[in-house]
Amino acid sequence: MKVVWFSEIKWNYLKTRKQQIITRKPADVQLLFLEPIVRAGRNSYGVRTEGDIFCATIPFLKSAPYFPWRTVLDRGSARWVVDLIAQARVRQILGKLGFDAPDTGFVISNIYAANIVTRLPKKFLLYDCNDDHSSFPGMRSWTEAYFFKTSREADAIFASSQALMDKITNVRGGTDGCEYLGNGVDFDHFQVEDGETAAPPLSSASDDKPRLGYIGALAPWLDFDAIAELAVARPEWEIVLVGPILLGVESRVMELTSLPNVFHLPAVSYDRLPGILKQFRVGLIPFRYNELTRGVNPNKLYEYLAAGLPVVTTRFSTEVEGYPGLVKSVDPGDGFVMACEEFVDAVCDPEMAAEIDERAKTVARQHDWNVIAAAFWDRVEELMAKDGS
């Protein structure tokens, strides 16, 4: 069984939903991962292998704030030329690797490849919708059309959040072919024994000093004001931010780290994350509320829980609600600070800490990537077996 995945991120970017699902594919699935160009990074225009996965970089159409010629792409003729170039490269690679047969299945998570995938022969088109890409900051007005096209043309769709599910079914005029399939965690990966952090200390502070942390991209959708208010309100705590700094927020990160109790650690390898989380007492997800975050089902929520951490989030998505005693979803400001205080006090009590740890891990197990990937690949096999696709 051959599958081509049209991705919006690089294979070697953060270990996200795509990599988690793909690395759990059935042994009989041959998979080609087509990734976009990035401004700074590894762009392998030839075919390379990542384990048993074929990978190649394609000059897909992009709408990004840093794209130097983005105003040119406001012209439909310019976008047509970019698609034509990308399509020619895709056809070349598919033919070279033998993925050009009509019984090859397509998975798309990159909406900007919509015009390409709809022109190529395939068994089916499955849209794995994990983000509302047209709502990312700085997107051009024409980007919404690619979301509409992908949603309408797909034979089947997985939505990772209820908000995304609602938006997709509104576009399609019904739920036919659409399924909710949330995000998750590699549960076993985040189990670290006491005394074994597998990561260097985050600071020279004593372990008795409360340390609250965030892992993930430092991006425009992060509520920097909520983090600053927390740091100022509780100067005896440490706030640690772990992840890459995206373009446009550099000054906000500098403002935060100028505070004596806020620290930034650049993006770390996936292997180091469990050891880092072991040094936190509370996991933070301080996102702004907007159209983008409303549809987010954050992997980090389940990673925090797998590490036994209670979690405090801003009220940005219904996906972070429904876990009483483990997750507090509150408005920024005093409510955010108070929620953190309550959890810090709770985990200082050994009995309460043990109860939170056990309950958090029970919830995380229910969202293990093994369960999610099995459902995903079962659906792929159904689509492959379906006549008349």
157 & 247 share domain: no
Q: For residue 24, what is the domain's CATH number?
A: 3.40.50.2000
* R_g (Cα) of the chain, nearest Å: 22
Least confident of 37-41, 219-223, 315-319, 333-337: 37-41
What local confidence, expressed as pLDDT, does residue 78 receive?
A: 87
| 245 and 222 in a common domain | yes
Cβ atoms 114, 142 nearer than 8 A = no
CA 125/CA 262 separation, integer angstroms = 45
Range of the domain at 325: 187-365
Eight-state DSSP code of residue 349 = S
Together in a domain, 107 and 236: no
Instruction: Copy the structure tokens of residue 154.
Output: 């797909």
What phi, psi does 57 have (nearest 5°)?
Answer: -90, 135
Contact in structure between 127 and 105 (CB atoms under 8 Å): no
Say yes or no: 218 and 335 in one domain.
yes
Q: What's the token pair of residue 46?
A: 């030839």
Please report, as a single letter, which amino acid is at residue 335.
Answer: G
Other Cβ atoms within 10 Å of 346 Cβ, number: 17
At residue 389, the pLDDT reads 43
DSSP string across 312-341: EEES--GGG-S-TTTEEEE-TTHHHHHHHH
Identify the sign of the CA torsion 272, 275, 280, 282. positive
Model pLDDT, residue 40? 60
The model's pLDDT over 176-187, given as tens digits with 9 standing for 90+, comes to 999 999 999 999
The H-or-E segment that residue 214 falls in is: strand 211-215
In the DSSP assignment, the letter for residue 284 is E
100 to each of 3, 83, 121, 155, how far by Cα in Å? 10, 18, 7, 19
User: Is residue 283 a contact partner of residue 213, using CB atoms and an 8 Å limit?
Assistant: yes
What residue type is 51 in one-letter code?
G
Number of domains composing the chain: 2
Structure tokens at 296: 């987010």
176 and 88 in one domain?
Answer: yes
What pLDDT does residue 260 have? 95
Same domain, 265 and 298: yes
Say whether both 33 and 173 belong to one domain: yes
Residues 142 and 251 placed together within one structural domain of the fold: no
Tens-place pLDDT, residues 123-162? 999 999 998 877 776 677 788 899 999 999 999 999 999 9
215, 361: one domain: yes
List the alpha helices (DSSP H) in the chain.
17-22, 76-97, 114-117, 143-153, 162-172, 224-233, 250-257, 273-277, 291-294, 299-306, 334-347, 350-365, 369-385
306 with 198, same domain?
yes
The answer to whether residues 233 and 352 belong to one domain is yes
Pairing assessment for the beta strands 2-6 and 30-36 based on DSSP bridges: parallel
Identify the residue with better confidence: 319 or 135.
319
Would you give the DSSP letter of residue 126?
Answer: E
Put simply, whether the predicted model's pTM sits higher than 0.85 gets the answer: yes
Say if residue 158 is in the same domain as residue 206.
Answer: no
**Which residue's entry shows tokens 């225009």?**
45
Q: Is the pLDDT of residue 199 over 70?
A: no
Chain mean pLDDT for the chain? 90
* Per-residue pLDDT tens over the stretch 238-278: 999 999 998 889 999 999 999 999 999 988 888 999 999 99
